[in-house]
Amino acid sequence: MSPETAVAWHRKDLLGIAELDPDEIRLILDTAESFREIAERPIKKVPTLRGKTVINLFFEASTRTRSSFEIAEKWLSADSINFSSSSSALSKGETLIDTALNLQAMAPDLVVVRHEHPGVPHMLAKRLKAGVINAGDGAHEHPTQALLDAFTIRRRKGRIDGLKVAIVGDIEHSRVVRSNIHLLTKLGAEVRVAGPRTMMPVEVEKLGVVVAPTLEAALEDVDVVMMLRIQLERQSRQRLPSVKEYFQLYGLTARQLARAKEDVIVMHPGPMNRGVEISSEVADGPFSVILEQVEAGVAVRMAVLYLLVGARDGEAEA
């Protein structure tokens, strides 16, 4: 496994989409394309990262991101360990940075980190020799989610440039939306956001998006709809009168979806709350690519691991 373009990657860490240029984003997507077929092999294993060590540090719950990083590491033959904050010395008062420096002393090549506080991956990247991958930091960024979303869109639509994309829901508290806005606008998509005013960041237009006044306006003639969960865990006060009212105003139903293009695709990063932001008829319906997103997650994370470790030091086996 030796993507020709890998020589162009020079970063030690993947902390966010904001700092990537379009060529770097395309490089990750093209590299993921070359890893995708491994999922179809009877023996899903390549020696690309043999002898490399990855530590998965998840301080917040995860199903998709954590599992797909673990699978990607195993398929690339890396040695990986999963750090659990509840059973670690953090529960005895050790600081995060001391924990990280102790883990660094065991010479990992990469650390994958998810944390509730924005900036934790950046802080670790400054202190650790290992490369750091941001697997979600508070409401800031979730770069590998945006990359797998772009990978899914590109496979379905053949391009990102010129597409109309609606992102609907809790815009303010979503790290997925921030990474997606950076990525989609860098690659030339037209992005609209919609959601309750209590969940819309002030001056979000400065990120290069248009705020649609209603769900109906957001859906008009779009190629892609991305629905978001309400991030109750990041809200200090109630932002909604009721879930029922939210679904009436912003829940995606088949009737609402009819406003979009005939070949629209419906996305959701998960976890999904059926009957809150999306109806089951849409989530399980013919336009949904939600499980394709999950599938793309493994290929994209293999690409990121490969580029950061394999291509960076030039030691990985082809």
Residues that bind ligand CP (CB under 6 A): 62-66, 136, 142, 145, 269-271
3-state secondary structure of 95: coil
Widest pairwise Cα distance in the chain = 56
d(CA 27, CA 132): 18
Q: Which helix (H) or strand (E) holds 190?
A: strand 190-194
Spell 132-158 as b/e; 16+ CB within 10 A means b: bbbbbbbbbbbbbbbbbbbbbbbbebe
Q: How far is the CB of 303 from ligand CP (least distance, A)?
A: 17
Q: How far is the CB of 223 from ligand CP (least distance, A)?
A: 21
Q: How far is the CB of 271 from ligand CP (least distance, A)?
A: 6
Q: How far is the CB of 85 from ligand CP (least distance, A)?
A: 15
- The alpha carbon of residue 150 and the mean position of all alpha carbons in its chain are separated, in whole angstroms, by 10
Nearest CB to ligand CP, comparing residues 6 and 282: 282
Nearest CB to ligand CP, comparing residues 67 and 102: 67
Nearest CB to ligand CP, comparing residues 1 and 290: 290
Q: How far is the CB of 155 from ligand CP (least distance, A)?
A: 18
Nearest CB to ligand CP, comparing residues 108 and 143: 143
Residues 6+ apart with CB under 8 A from 63: 270, 271
As beta bridge partners, residue 55 has: 81, 111
Nearest CB to ligand CP, comparing residues 1 and 110: 110
d(CA 164, CA 183): 14
- Tell me the Ramachandran region of residue 278: left when phi exceeds 0, alpha when psi lies from -120 to 50, beta otherwise: beta
Nearest CB to ligand CP, comparing residues 3 and 270: 270
Q: How far is the CB of 143 from ligand CP (least distance, A)?
A: 11
